[in-house]
Amino acid sequence: MEQTVERELYFENKDLSAASLEHISVSEVWLPEEIEVKRKSLLYEGREWTVVDNLIIHDDIKIGSLKALNYISSYKQTLSNLAIAGIKEVQYNFTPVFFKLSTHLDCSISDEYPLPAFDPIAFAVFDIYILKRDGAEMCYNDYQRHSASLFNRRLSFIEKKQLEVNILQCIQDKRLLSRNKLLTLIDKYKVVTNQDLKRNLEIFQLAVLPFATQLGITMKLEKDWIKGSVLGLPTLQY
């Protein structure tokens, strides 16, 4: 008889007042006209845009590359344009690659409230058997590896493709929605320790937070509800 693996799902809550310009590349400035189009479209839906949900920080800033200062300058210009539009709260995160990581996008606590959810065993299947990241198995304990092996054998080809799509859609930089591009970015983070990531966050905050305060914008650092490191990436939650 095949063993049944029980595991806990982690759900995300939604804030209908929060929105973002997800179609704009992470490296680009949010232009005033783009901001206004989004604001009006939300008003048409009966929603008032009061919070920018995740103004994405370029991975080069988190890594601390030579391009970091250029991307910080672009980030500050976006804040200036948001201030002109009257938006006063901006949420941001310093999580490498992903944020609000989900394995299942249509789970629900009840039929009325569909929510994305994170299943750690399903994610291990993605990491070990789909992404096939070098050294992936070493990031999991014996129970997790065994559970992932059982779950992987039960999944059909279509279900594995859907799991891959679900996880890749959680990458913050939408130019990187492929396994090869994800592996390339992960490789760039190999030289970044948890302490490096924390120091690069402090550099970003020193450059951006006083500037945002002058604009009248409140900056709110958000943390992913997934605890610890994923895919061997550095983390602030250590």
As a whole number, mean pLDDT of residues 128-150 equals 95
Pairing relationship of beta strands 10-11 and 89-92 according to DSSP bridges: unpaired
Residue 223 scores a pLDDT above 90? no
Range of the domain at 116: 98-190
As a whole number, mean pLDDT of residues 15-28 equals 82
Query: Would you place residue 141 in the very low, low, confident or very high pLDDT band (cuts 50, 70, 90)?
Result: very high
Poorest-pLDDT segment among 45-59, 100-114, 182-196:
100-114
Looking at every residue in the chain, the average pLDDT score rounds to: 87
Poorest-pLDDT segment among 33-42, 46-55, 85-94, 159-168:
46-55
Residue 231 lies in a domain: no
Query: Would you place residue 99 in the very low, low, confident or very high pLDDT band (cuts 50, 70, 90)?
Result: confident
Residue 77 lies in a domain: yes
Q: What is the DSSP string of 145-214?
A: HHHHHHHHHH--HHHHHHHHHHHHTTBSSGGG-SHHHHHHHHHHGGG--HHHHHHHHHHHHHHHHHHHHH
Please report, for the domain that includes residue 211, its CATH number: 3.20.20.150
- The rounded percent of the chain whose pLDDT value lies above 90 is 64
As a whole number, mean pLDDT of residues 37-60 equals 90
In angstroms, rounded to a whole number, what is the distance separating the alpha carbons of residues 141 and 57?
32
> What is the structure's pLDDT at 116?
64
Residues 53 and 166 in one domain: no
As given in the structure block, the two tokens for residue 172 are 């913050």
Higher pLDDT, 183 or 229: 183
In angstroms, rounded to a whole number, what is the distance separating the alpha carbons of residues 184 and 179?
9
> What is the structure's pLDDT at 16?
53
As given in the structure block, the two tokens for residue 101 are 């990581």
In angstroms, rounded to a whole number, what is the distance separating the alpha carbons of residues 143 and 219?
40
Considering the entire predicted model, what is its pTM? 0.83
As given in the structure block, the two tokens for residue 13 are 């809550």
Residue 1 lies in a domain: no
As a whole number, mean pLDDT of residues 144-168 equals 95
As a whole number, mean pLDDT of residues 165-175 equals 89
Strand partners, 108: 114
Residues 162 and 85 in one domain: no
End-to-end C-alpha distance for the chain, whole angstroms? 39
> What is the structure's pLDDT at 115?
53
Residue 139 lies in a domain: yes
In angstroms, rounded to a whole number, what is the distance separating the alpha carbons of residues 74 and 145?
42
Sheet holding 10-11, edge to edge: 10-11, 114-118, 104-108
Residues 112 and 159 in one domain: yes
